[in-house]
A and B are shown apart, each in its own frame.
Chain A
Amino acid sequence: MFRIAMLSCLTVILIFFINIFLSPIIFTDPRRLWPSILSDEARFAVFLSLLTATCSTLISLIVGIPAAYALSRLNFPGKTVIEGFLDVPMAVPPIAFGVMLLIFFARTPVGAFINESVVRFIFEIPGIVLAQFSVISILTIKFVKSSFDGIPVCYERIARTFGYSELESFFYVTLPSAKRGILGAALMSWARALGEFGATVTLAGATRFKTETLPIALYLNLSTANLENVAALTLILLLIACLILTVSRKLLYRGFAS
């Protein structure tokens, strides 16, 4: 009886998700769906989403890997406070990030200078990358840190006795050992960046064929009640999500050994 009750709950959840995942296919005319998938707008949104998500993921890895290493391996004053602080952005809605970024670049002297003279973020493509970065960087750090945590520190220490400096030990020992975890972190961050909407729409705006990522295209088409396009874009997002999560599950659950 107990097992039946547990399995029933699981079945209810599965039916719920299968239903909502299949609804774009079932309730849309396939003859009108295909042209929507191949439309200029959809192709632009896919290209822009892949480009910006890749950029923001790369930047968050470049910054996140050393930051995660510092949190995993080094002892410094305020480490516990910082570790606690890392959980805060997880609870902040992305739209709030967008608002904060917008205020920073529009209202503060430093932000305004950067926006005017260095890189233009407001309502521009770099704004999408920055918005995605602000949402995914913490995720990257958390994933990579847990990967470093799983690698015993003794490997780096022993490498030092063989003549390798701290930096060399990191590159030759720690990083290769953590590569699966880092790849998994990159994929999860990339997936999250692809689906990012709140911060992006606030900072970069929702301009057709300019800052139109997949979620923004979805939002724009929904606002004009173009249901074929909405269904097509939803399917594309769903497909990408399934692909990424399948690959990352394989990477993460096969352990860290190459």
Chain B
Amino acid sequence: MIAVSNLYARRAAFKLVNINFEAQQGSILTIVGPNGCGKTTLLECVAGLQKVEAGKITIKGVDVTSFPPEKRKVGYVPADYALFPNMTVQRNIRFALKKAGDMGSNELVKIARMLQIENLMDRNVESLSSGQRQRVALARALASKPNVLLLDEPCSALDPPTKEMFRTRIKDMLKDVIREISVPIIYTTHDLLEANVISDRIAVMDNGRLEQIGRADEVFENPNSKFVSEFLGYNVLEGNVVSIGAGRVSIRVGNVMLEAEGFESPLRGKVTVAIRPQDVILSTREEVIKPKWKKCRCNILKGTVEKMYMAGSIVRAIVNVDDVKLKVDVTSDWLEDSNIKVGDRVFAQIKASRVKILQDRMQEAYV
């Protein structure tokens, strides 16, 4: 197990602030955040390549905070893989094996077989494709017999179509690794989909701070801050509490009234509202169109479709509701059936229970 507690570090003007997380043996924790948020710096702190100002890093129960990198037994795969260009694949892996106290070929063969690189062993690393380099870098990190494996954006060097294929492949590779050596894996990415595919747990990072940490589905369902909501692609709106009832609250966002429910605590004043684009349904008719929602409290907002564009496999529509812009995700099939076009008047329907009031602002808004 690896545990990081109250970690502070500084690299030039950038700071890591009060980082706390744990990763169990055989689990994958993905640190996800935009470029420049401190993911690599955090991994380098764990690897001992970046000086720590305060805090504690414990690997397998041993406090390694003051240990130099060579004493930490951390397998690190940097984003550019850093394979030694003047060595063959085999020599790259043997280089790590040598210090792990194993010069025999059994270990080498085992690792090569696991990562399917047996046929690459005599190749020069410069002749390898990005995907092959990724596997060789992972093999080399494993050869050092680490107590924790750190993978820094391993898919960032891949082009989008290759990336798609490698997401699932790397997940399988990591499963094999965990089966073979049950170590905690810390993985970083700025790609939410990748994080979702790879991880057991995710930690969302922003500007040197871990904003939220938890099971991937929990974090995706319940973002706890404005940043996390925005990063996850939610509609994030600022509003004021107008009235409160039993477990429900009315919020004015610009000229739009929104109903939210499922809150136990009374609220007042300014709040931040988050709505997932997939939770908004578009209709040309005013009545609730989803049968399951008929008996629920529902927001029905009249607006105009301003833009539509493909976002991966879905279509994203931007709907203007009294100057409040709502992102709505719909499938292309549904769009074809409904025949909604840019400029059409539509009704955006949102179940009240799917309107989230963010906790960071709730703290301030509690009576």
Contact = CB atoms under 8 A, between A and B. Distances in A.
Interface of A: 152, 154-155, 157-165, 172-173, 176-177, 256-258
B334 to A, nearest CB: 47
Contacts of B26: none
Contact of B76 (A152, A158, A176, A257): A158
A257 B82 CA distance: 14
Interface string B84-104: 111000000001100110000
Contacts of A163: 70, 73, 96, 99-100, 144
Contacts of B75: 161
Interface in B46-72: 47-49, 68-70, 72
B69 A161 contact: yes
A173 B84 contact: yes
Contacts of A160: 48-49, 68-70
B364 interface: no
B191 interface: no
B211 interface: no
B144 to A, nearest CB: 5
Contacts of B100: 162-163
B317 to A, nearest CB: 44
B230 to A, nearest CB: 32
Contacts of A165: 68, 70
Contacts, number: 59
| Chain A to chain B: the 4 pairs with minimum beta-carbon distance, closest first | A163-B99, A160-B69, A154-B82, A162-B96
B80 interface: yes
Interface SS of A by simple majority:
helix
Nearest to B99: A163
12 contacts: A155-B82, A157-B82, A160-B68, A161-B48, A162-B95, A162-B96, A164-B70, A164-B99, A165-B68, A177-B84, A177-B85, A257-B126
Contacts of A157: 49, 69, 78, 82
Contact of A176 (B70, B78, B86): B86
Contacts of A158: 76, 78, 82
B74 interface: yes
Contact of B86 (A152, A162, A258): A258
Interface of B: 47-49, 68-70, 72-76, 78, 80, 82, 84-86, 95-96, 99-100, 126, 140-141, 143-144
B337 to A, nearest CB: 52
A154 B86 contact: no
A152 B69 CA distance: 18
A182 to B, nearest CB: 13
Contacts of B144: 161-163
B80 A154 contact: yes
Given A157-B69, A161-B141, A161-B144, 19 more contacts: A154-B80, A155-B82, A157-B78, A157-B82, A159-B95, A160-B49, A160-B69, A161-B69, A161-B75, A161-B76, A162-B96, A162-B100, A162-B140, A162-B143, A162-B144, A164-B99, A172-B95, A176-B86, A256-B86
Contacts of A159: 95
Contacts of A173: 84
A61 B85 CA distance: 24
A257 B86 contact: yes
Given A162-B95, A162-B144, A154 B70 contact: no
Contacts of A172: 95
B281 to A, nearest CB: 49
Nearest to B143: A162
Contacts of B126: 257
Contacts of B72: 161
Nearest to A256: B86
Contacts of A162: 70, 95-96, 99-100, 140, 143-144
A257 B74 CA distance: 28
Nearest to B137: A158
Nearest to A180: B86
Contacts of B143: 162
B84 A155 contact: yes
A164 B140 CA distance: 14
A161 B47 contact: yes
B95 A257 contact: no
Contacts of B78: 154, 157-158
Contacts of B74: 161
A170 to B, nearest CB: 13
A154 B43 CA distance: 14
A159 B83 CA distance: 10
Nearest to B95: A162
A256 B49 CA distance: 25
Contacts of B68: 160, 165
A152 B82 contact: yes
A177 B91 CA distance: 14
Nearest to B84: A155
A124 B78 CA distance: 55
Contacts of B85: 177, 257
B285 to A, nearest CB: 59
B339 to A, nearest CB: 54
Nearest to A169: B70
Given A158-B76, A163-B99, A177 B86 contact: yes
A152 B141 CA distance: 19
Contacts of B84: 155, 173, 177
A172 B96 CA distance: 12
B152 to A, nearest CB: 11
Contacts of B76: 158, 161
Contacts of B48: 160-161
Nearest to A154: B82
